[in-house]
Amino acid sequence: MTSPKRLPTIATHDVDGIQLRTARWMAPGNSGQRPLLFFNGIGANLELTLGLGDMFPDREIITFDVPGVGLSPVTSWPYRPWMLARWTRKLLDLQGIEDVDVMGVSWGGAMAQQFAFQYRRRVGKLILCATTAGMTMIPGHPRALSKMADTRRYSDPDFMRKSFESLYGEAVDGEAGNHIDNLLPPDPKGYVYQLLAFIGWSSLPFIRLLSMPTLVLMGDQDTIVPVVNGHILRVALPDARLHVIEGGGHLFLVTRASETAGLIRGFLGEAEESPQAAA
């Protein structure tokens, strides 16, 4: 995501005593499209999402730093996915946003599923990038997973550059370099809380209730979330299609931004079948 031209308004909002730093891109004019709610990956601050405005220039977008990430203060206690989904819903209420399309990448893809389950009447379409159904996932390469646990990938840019290919499955290029430069180290406790949130979590008990049209995007070179996890989601979800990014690693949303954005825009732009037609 290079030199964004369309920048968001950034503000902090109080949600049930939780301070959430939020980025919101307003749609130019009255586009008539649902806003896009974006859930980022583990430990990822909202500065890493600044390219979203240019990827989806005609759409309102909202995202936020989860507690303990970026500049959102860490909570005093661990939280569960259903709690974060509820805070997100209340954040949307504060912003006057009703129905949304939901997109999530990696850890955020699990949160996207959780939110879509709890508030499925408010979700039009679902986009899941480089993610899984939870604890039933097929794990990635041990070398990549060991680097995932090393917090130097947030605090040491040189370590991140040296480890990028073995960690994410792609070589460092200009886009990846910008991504690295925008990293803010998460609060250590906040990072642990993100890890704890999904211990024992799986979307499989409720995934058949996610009947909204869903696009699953996976990279065939992803060393963290192997592409087989995308096949599991495609089979489990009632109305899903899977697209595999050839040569894409775990961060194809960054390194292959133009290609990925085109796929997502095409999916979001498709006419939705009316309930009468579906019957």
Catalytic residues: 106
Tell how far CA 10 is from the center of its chain.
Answer: 18
Query: Do residues 88 and 23 touch, judged by C-beta distance below 8 A?
Result: no
Burial class of residue 248 in the structure, from the number of CB atoms within 10 Å of its CB (0-12 exposed, 13-18 middle, 19+ buried): buried
Strands lying side by side in the sheet with 214-219: 9-15, 18-25, 61-64, 36-39, 100-105, 123-129, 214-219, 240-245
Helix (H, G, I), strand (E, B) or coil at 103: strand
Q: Which amino acid is at 111?
A: M
- CA terminus-to-terminus distance, the chain: 41
9 vs 26: CA distance, rounded Å: 8
- Residue 182's nearest CA partner among 56, 87, 40, 85 is 40
**Phi, psi values for residue 171, rounded to 5°:** -75, 155
